[in-house]
């Protein structure tokens, strides 16, 4: 007999049971469900809605069920639909009909909303900690390689020399905003829905403040229909995850390119690469590729839930059960991506000579030559044209800017003097960019100090 079987004359069709059940995935919420039920039970007793003795039996029963579930001893069945009914059924099996009093003044609609809020809050904090670990790995890799100069790119064309550390730290700051975004969303997951009942509130004199304070919620939902029908706190988790995965995916792309034979800027550790079943020489950056690939499924889960919710009338609709699998998969996906990335970055070996070679004989210092002319009084636009012509000449003659003699330079523009060629070494270009947030070593060191203080103080 179903917990809701009273008005039914027939058994549920087996296929419907299978289709309708959420237990295969919402069993993950058992801890939240039991903790929420315990708080609800204490409140019922405190308000005199059930008596103290009944509450004690219920609480003891729930504690045992929690242990059984911890040990994986409880058998789940599709017929019992979801985690809420499994716990309740088990409770009445253990302590008899008094277990049936637990659901007083409550509906699965506010119960599932409560569980989901508790779960999302927990996962936000875990995600924030994992992002912090990855940020730390980035700072360490940057700090250990402050002398590495490489080309900075736009359009994947060599643009201006930068420190390898500067490029890495760009990702630190992206992840810093991701961390802040998750933390900021915590405040909105921190609204307590229980007491909304099925949708309209409850006829029992419940004390919602008490439940909220027992479970560590900062706020109450002010409207029972809102409390049971919105999943914006899940959407925010998915959206924060999608944005963060965009950052990891771009980092992956950089790692994959740097690790290619053509670039050869870094070497990935054997432990974080895989081989080919046919080509014996292969060592593939699968971790980075898979992180890039998994970004797609995280985006998909966000679009999936947005689409599920967009046409739903208030309040609860069964459609909303579809909030779970995408969220759970997102949680699992982002956590393993963050863990793997932190571990992989700790083993990355930069090949500084290759990086330097890519920028040493190159036109990446062209801007610096133009800036030189500007400092001599030429308008930037004219300076740009002069250097552009010099680059054109070099390309035609298969030479580099460093190969030009001072005479050739002064011939192109009388403002060039002996010191002009001092602008050309890549490290000079890097050092010259001491603007706040620029790539000069002194500025990158400022970034590293700031970055480390953020990791310690949060």
Which tokens go with 16? 């419907």
Query: Which of 69, 320, 364, 424 is the binder for ligand ARG (CB under 6 A)?
Result: 320
Please choose, from the candidates 103, 100, 115, the residue with its C-alpha nearest in 3D space to the C-alpha of residue 193.
Answer: 115
Burial tier of 391 (Cβ tally within 10 Å: 0-12, 13-18, 19+): middle
Instruction: Calculate ∠ Cα 335-340-346, nearest 5°.
Output: 135
- As measured in angstroms, the least distance from the Cβ of 234 to ligand ARG is 11
- As measured in angstroms, the least distance from the Cβ of 311 to ligand ARG is 17
Stretch that binds ligand ARG, among 59-67, 88-96, 314-322, 376-384 (CB under 6 A): 314-322
- As measured in angstroms, the least distance from the Cβ of 94 to ligand ARG is 22
Whole-angstrom distance, CA of residue 235 vs CA of residue 70? 29
Neighbours of 3 (CB within 10 A): 15
Whole-angstrom distance, CA of residue 329 vs CA of residue 340? 16
- As measured in angstroms, the least distance from the Cβ of 302 to ligand ARG is 19
Smaller CB distance to ligand ARG: residue 256 or 315? Answer: 315
Work out whether strand 149-154 and strand 157-163 pair parallel, antiparallel, or are unpaired.
antiparallel
3-state secondary structure 257-268: HHHCCCCCCEEC
Segment 58-61 long-range contacts (CB within 8 Å, at least 24 positions apart): 58/91, 58/95, 58/98, 58/99, 58/101, 58/102, 60/95, 61/90, 61/91, 61/94, 61/95, 61/99
Query: Going residue by residue from 78 to 117, which x/- string records binding to ligand ARG, judged by CB under 6 A?
Result: ----x-------------------------xx--x-----
- As measured in angstroms, the least distance from the Cβ of 242 to ligand ARG is 22
Query: Which of 57, 145, 252, 321 is the binder for ligand ARG (CB under 6 A)?
Result: 321
Residue by residue, DSSP assigns 327-373 as: HHHHHHHHHHHHHHHHHHHTT-EE-HHHHHHHHHSSSTTHHHHHHHH
Smaller CB distance to ligand ARG: residue 320 or 358? Answer: 320
Report if residue 252 touches ligand ARG, rule: CB under 6 A.
no
Count of positions on this chain that bind ligand ARG (CB under 6 A): 10
Smaller CB distance to ligand ARG: residue 226 or 427? Answer: 226
Which residues carry out catalysis? 155, 276
- As measured in angstroms, the least distance from the Cβ of 20 to ligand ARG is 8
Please choose, from the candidates 226, 159, 176, 149, the residue with its C-alpha nearest in 3D space to the C-alpha of residue 427.
Answer: 149
DSSP element (H, E) containing 63:
helix 52-70
Whole-angstrom distance, CA of residue 326 vs CA of residue 345? 28
- As measured in angstroms, the least distance from the Cβ of 274 to ligand ARG is 38
Stretch that binds ligand ARG, among 312-320, 325-333, 371-379, 389-397 (CB under 6 A): 312-320
Smaller CB distance to ligand ARG: residue 86 or 433? Answer: 86
**Which segments of 155-214 are extended strands (E)?**
157-163, 191-192
68 contacts 17 by C-beta, under 8 angstroms: no
Smaller CB distance to ligand ARG: residue 136 or 323? Answer: 323
Query: Going residue by residue from 183 to 222, which x/- string records binding to ligand ARG, judged by CB under 6 A?
Result: ----------------------------------------
Query: Which of 22, 145, 224, 249 is the binder for ligand ARG (CB under 6 A)?
Result: 22
Smaller CB distance to ligand ARG: residue 238 or 320? Answer: 320
Contacting ligand ARG within 344-383 (CB under 6 A): none
Smaller CB distance to ligand ARG: residue 30 or 341? Answer: 30
- As measured in angstroms, the least distance from the Cβ of 319 to ligand ARG is 9
Query: Going residue by residue from 33 to 72, which x/- string records binding to ligand ARG, judged by CB under 6 A?
Result: ----------------------------------------
Smaller CB distance to ligand ARG: residue 26 or 368? Answer: 26
- As measured in angstroms, the least distance from the Cβ of 222 to ligand ARG is 22
Neighbours of 240 (CB within 10 A): 24
Provide the 3-class DSSP secondary structure of residue 127. helix
Which tokens go with 89? 């059924």
Stretch that binds ligand ARG, among 315-323, 374-382, 386-394, 423-431 (CB under 6 A): 315-323
Which tokens go with 17? 């049971």
> Which residue's structure tokens are 């300076």?
383
State phi, psi for 292 to the nearest 5 degrees.
Answer: -60, -45
Smaller CB distance to ligand ARG: residue 273 or 321? Answer: 321
Binding residues for ligand ARG, rule: CB under 6 A, are 22, 26, 82, 108-109, 112, 316, 318, 320-321
């Amino acid at each position: 007999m179903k917990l809701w079987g009273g008005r039914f004359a027939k058994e549920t069709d087996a296929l419907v049971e299978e289709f309708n059940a959420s237990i295969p995935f919402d069993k993950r919420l058992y801890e939240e469900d039991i903790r929420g039920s315990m708080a609800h039970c204490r409140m019922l007793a405190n308000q005199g809605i059930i008596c103290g003795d009944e509450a004690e039996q219920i609480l003891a029963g729930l504690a045992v069920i929690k242990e059984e579930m911890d040990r994986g001893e409880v058998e789940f069945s599709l017929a019992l639909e979801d985690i809420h009914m499994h716990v309740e059924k088990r409770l009445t099996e253990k302590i008899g009909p008094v277990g049936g009093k637990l659901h007083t003044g409550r509906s699965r609609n506010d119960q599932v909303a409560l569980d989901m809020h508790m779960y999302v809050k927990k996962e936000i904090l875990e995600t924030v900690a994992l992002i912090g670990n990855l940020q730390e790995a980035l700072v360490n890799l940057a700090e250990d390689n402050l002398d590495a100069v490489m080309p900075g790119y736009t359009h994947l064309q060599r643009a201006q020399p930068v420190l390898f550390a500067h490029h890495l730290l760009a990702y630190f700051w992206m992840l810093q905003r991701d961390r802040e975004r998750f933390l900021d969303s915590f405040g909105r997951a921190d609204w307590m829905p229980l007491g909304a009942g099925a949708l309209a509130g409850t006829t029992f004199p419940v004390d919602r403040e008490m439940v909220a304070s027992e479970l560590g919620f900062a706020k109450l939902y002010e409207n029972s229909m809102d409390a049971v029908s919105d999943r914006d706190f899940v959407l925010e988790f998915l959206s924060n995850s999608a944005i963060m995965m965009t950052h990891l995916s771009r980092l992956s792309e950089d790692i994959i390119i740097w690790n290619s034979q053509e670039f050869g800027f870094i070497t990935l550790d054997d432990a974080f690469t895989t081989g080919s079943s046919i080509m014996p020489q292969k060592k593939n950056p699968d971790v980075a590729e898979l992180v890039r690939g998994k970004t797609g499924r995280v985006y998909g889960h966000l679009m999936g839930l947005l689409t599920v919710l967009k046409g739903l009338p208030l309040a609860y609709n069964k459609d909303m059960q579809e909030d779970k699998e995408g969220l759970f998969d997102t949680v699992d996906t982002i956590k393993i991506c963050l863990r793997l990335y932190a571990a992989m970055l700790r083993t990355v070996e930069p090949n500084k000579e290759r990086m330097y070679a890519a920028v040493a004989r190159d036109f990446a210092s062209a801007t610096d030559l133009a800036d030189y002319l500007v400092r001599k009084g030429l308008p930037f636009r004219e300076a740009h044209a002069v250097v552009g012509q010099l680059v054109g000449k070099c390309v035609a003659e298969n030479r580099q800017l460093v190969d030009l003699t001072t005479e050739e330079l002064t011939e192109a523009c009388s403002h060039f003097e002996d010191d002009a060629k001092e602008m050309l070494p890549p490290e000079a270009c890097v050092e010259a960019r001491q603007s706040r947030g620029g790539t000069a070593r002194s500025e990158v060191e400022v970034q590293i100090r700031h970055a480390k203080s953020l990791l310690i103080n949060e």
